Chain A
Amino acid sequence: MSTVTTEPGVATARRPAPGRGKGSRGGPSFWFATPALAFFGLFALVPLVGVVVLSLMNWDGLGTPTWAGLDNWIRTFQDPVTRNAFVLTLQLTALSWLIQAPISLLLGVFMAGRQRYRALLSVLYFLPLLFSAAAVAIAYKSLLDPNFGIGSALGADWLSRDWLGDPDLAFFVVVWVIAWSFIPFHSLLYQSGVRQIPLSMYEAARLDGASTVRQFLSITLPQLKYTIITSSTLMIVGSLTYFDLIFVLTNGGPGNATRVLPLDMYLKGFRSYDMGGASVVAVILVFLGLTISLLLNRLSGAHRMESQMEGV
């Protein structure tokens, strides 16, 4: 009796499920994403569209914006300061990656070891990550002061150089300070990446007589592929938009020696009150950031997210 009455009930409850269509086949309902999309739309897409519109207008922060068409774009592309900023940004990005990626990879591998002294060192390496960029910049500014900085405190003349005031030096000092602040974070990524590599792989390699270097090159590096991609994307897109530390450390100076694109955007917008020109730079930055992260993702094949654990 009871089976007869429940049977159709179950059947009706089940029937609509396959009929709900394509959406349910790939995973949870699309509506799960609405809160996130609403926030993204409100705080990322709306301002973004606003900036694109503003890049086509002249506005000095007072009064009403007036339509300018492509004038701001033409002006910005012809502006030697912005061109210089563009080149500097690319240099900063490339140099930051070249310096930070190998060091954090090696440090991360080193920190992944389980020895006690390594754990202690890891804590020390980790410290720069706890400081805000503004604090780091102010501290470095004082330390590098040629008259009252660390050079004169220690009586070391070779340290008392015009680090932040010499156009040839300032850029490299900025690269160095950025590396100092960010290597700990990327080391942390690599450390956790390395710890996830199954030990059995190393055991097998050791049985085959592989040296430590060989193990690093043939197991650690390939296994860290996705960590390298994630870390590099963060580094590269991060350097493209890097602002606060440089702003406090040099404010783009001396001359225009450290005026990278984000700083150029800020100075144009909030010092010269050329909101149109600043918006053009902002749109360029968004475009560059998106393109580069998309390219990295495509070129590396990370979007396919294949498992690296096959056969383990």
Chain B
Amino acid sequence: MSPSELGPVTCLGCGCGCDDLRVRVADGRITDLSPPCPVARAWFGDGRVPGAVRVNGRDASVQDALREAATVLAGAVGRALVVLAPDISVQAQGTALALADRLRAAVDSATSDAAAAGLLAAQRRGRAAATLGELRNRADAVLFWAVDPGPRYPRYQSRYAPDPVGTHVPEGRSGRTVISVSVGADRGPGSADVELVLAPDQEIPALSVMRAVALGNPLGELPAPLDAAAAIAGRLMKARYVAVVHEAEPGQQQARDRYRAEGLLGLANALNGPTRAALSSLRAGGNRNGAEAALTWQTGYPMAVSFEGGTPAYAPDRRALTGAEAMSAILVVGAAATVASALESAAAKVPVIVVGPRASEASLPARVAIDTGVAGIHEGGTAYRMDDVPLPLSPPLAEAGARSAAETIAALLEEVLARPERGTG
């Protein structure tokens, strides 16, 4: 088969959701892609995925595996955990939620604790945000708060801000002021116009000062570095449109202050008095935002939902992943590697079913493992960008023969529905 170049293709390697990739395919493998993003390269790989189906570690037919999985799950009504892991479409996630509803299961997802803290803070306070294109087109001041998007979100700066030309920023990067704030080991980008370095215990005071400045509250003389923080706030107030960018996923080196998300929401909100501002929360890929979207429209809650009582209940302070040992069955849909460590101890006691990419290679001792393709590489559907913009997936290896995750989860649902409904317990 001669090589072919396909595109545009949507990447779910990080939450940027770049949908402009060109992918080179030869002999059913991905051989190259452009632009050469390291995260995209790692996520696409060569596109090969295993196609195994296993029951108790032995090869099985899909039908037998689905029957076994349905038997396990149907016997665990009211005591099951359904985990929405990454790399499946929102359609697959939605079907898994139907299954969870039927099973009266608890539902957890790959929403990190750090991201969950941001969601909860936004529920308490609301939030001023924007889709990424608004930052691209309007932001003439970009404040990177304790994050350099480069390593985890390599194309954020070139696609969204501060580099591109926008409708209201015709000069591109030169028309924008970039402010880098570092907090302890969480460093901002190096090539900023203004830099501020804070010790971890100075972060919340600095955010409080900046919010007070934006609100026009009088402040006395401030010690360093709060005086510098106040000066930055003054500069932001003079901008036309401010983007406040922060990392919503876990830090690599230290736990961040639990009030950071709250403080940033408050700052972005306050800046909307004197100017316009939006908070941009950097989120990981794999369609995590899709899981939160589907959970919200189907249940009213973006994460940590339990159907155990017959209706969706919200328990964000008791994530089911950490209480999985009390369950009678665990179903993981999606790429299990992301959640395997959280389920490690439970999996030794509770039967686990995994349906998703590389299920057979997951470190979990699965009762049933059904390999599927990866949404965006082998199968289509919809995935959500970090700003909740839904994107169509245009899989470059749609013809490679990988099993569809969405169809397999739907078949599992049918298998469960075919069994008589039992009460809880």
To the question of whether A and B form a pair in one complex, the answer is no
Interface residues of B (CB under 8 A from A): none
